[in-house]
Structure 1
Amino acid sequence: MLDREGFRPNVGIILLNANNEVWWGKRVREHSWQFPQGGIKYGESPEQAMFRELEEETGLLPEHVKVIGRTRDWLRYEVPDHFIKREIRGHYRGQKQIWFLLRMIGRDCDVNLRASTHPEFDAWRWHDYWVPLDVVIEFKRGVYQLALQELSRYVHRAEHPNSNRNRYLRNQQQAQPGRDIKKTEPEESK
């Protein structure tokens, strides 16, 4: 399904762990790494497509994640001709994507790259939030930058309650003497 301009509707997924690192997958039998992404089927909403692609590509289910943001508009990238199948050249230009930012609330062991009969990835790892910009294939770099920038506003606001930063802040508050505590005299002195 292509739009009038030759772009295929698609979703992209940025999955965060408790340390605000992003999930990064290695494509099957290739040396390229990317975020999970995939096409939107006819009659599917972007959110429905996102959950379907998430399960197909990572094995994660809706109960393993929390949606914390999405891009406002479609982000587009063009695919170079030498990556396009000969039979669709001239019609297909690339992808238009809605990007979702998810927080993983499941565990790393919930990831199953063999959840689909046609796996997309054969390895995965967590990376610092901005690292993918340095290593993603060049023609996707602009869209990755736009998605990461737009969705970065949600990253610290939606931190997992057990993240290192939040644990540190809680410990700092607890360590401040006299904070929110009424000072009273000992019983004996009354």
Structure 2
Amino acid sequence: MTTETKTEKPPVSVAIIVDNGKVLMARRRAAEGEISWVFPGGAIEVGESPEEAAVREVAEETGLKVEAVQVLGDRVHPKSGVPMHYVAVRLVGGEATVADDDELDAVAWITHSEIPAHVPYGLFEPVQEYLDGALPQGA
């Protein structure tokens, strides 16, 4: 008889926040392989929907108040192996700051043309499609 040990990673929900023609990204204090710049987010707590988790995590990490608009998709992240949920949110209020300096060391509003420099391995296709429609091109 073999005993299987599961090391499943908890699912994570991230928020795609677009405002004034830019998208908010956060730089992790400790890079995970190639992953340094990420969308604000974190682990989904028991009983929480991906939308609720994205809204809560944005407040905890950046101090922004947002509301969920739509789930863009989900996948197992090809670089980290983490189950990911991507949620488009609308900015309701606040100024983006590093509210959780244990996890993050910077936040930045970036333009469409700056995405490849921050995420050189490319974005999840539904997120890229959403940003292609939500951000001005060539900026």
Same fold (TM over 0.5): yes
Cα separation, partners in 2 of 1:131 and 1:145, compared to 1, 3 Å: farther
1:17 is aligned to 19
Q: What is the rounded CA distance, in whole Å, between the counterparts of 1:106 and 1:155 in structure 2?
A: 19
Cα displacement (A) at 1:97: 1.5
Q: Give per-residue Cα distances to partners, 1:130-183, cap 9 Å, x unaligned.
A: 532343264xx3xx2324234247627xxxxxxxxxxxxxxxxxxxxxxxxxxx
Alignment of 1:53-92 (within 5 A): 53-61=57-65, 65-71=66-72, 73-79=73-79
Alignment of 1:130-169 (within 5 A): 131-136=114-119, 138=121, 141=122, 144-152=123-131, 155=134
1:112 is aligned to 97
Unmatched tracts of structure 1, length 5 or more: 81-93, 157-190
Once the two structures are aligned, what percentage of the paired residues are identical? 27
Residue identity opposite 2:105 in structure 1:
D
2:25–2:39 Cα contact (<8 Å) kept: yes
Aligned residue pairs total 128
Q: Give per-residue Cα distances to partners, 1:51-104, cap 9 Å, x unaligned.
A: 12111111112xxx3433321x42221346xxxxxxxxxxxxx11222112232
Residue identity opposite 2:22 in structure 1:
E
The SS at the match of 1:38 is: strand
Cα displacement (A) at 1:29: 6.0
Return the structure number with greater helix share: 1
- For the aligned residue pairs, the C-alpha RMSD in angstroms reads 3.1
Cα separation, partners in 2 of 1:66 and 1:43, compared to 1, 3 Å: closer
2:25–2:110 Cα contact (<8 Å) kept: yes
1:133–1:145 Cα contact (<8 Å) kept: no
1:56–1:119 Cα contact (<8 Å) kept: no
Q: What is the rounded CA distance, in whole Å, between the counterparts of 1:26 and 1:149 in structure 2?
A: 19
Return the structure number with greater strand share: 2
1:27 is aligned to 28
Q: What is the rounded CA distance, in whole Å, between the counterparts of 1:26 and 1:122 in structure 2?
A: 6
Residue identity opposite 1:67 in structure 2:
A
Cα separation, partners in 2 of 1:7 and 1:59, compared to 1, 3 Å: same
Unmatched tracts of structure 2, length 5 or more: 1-5
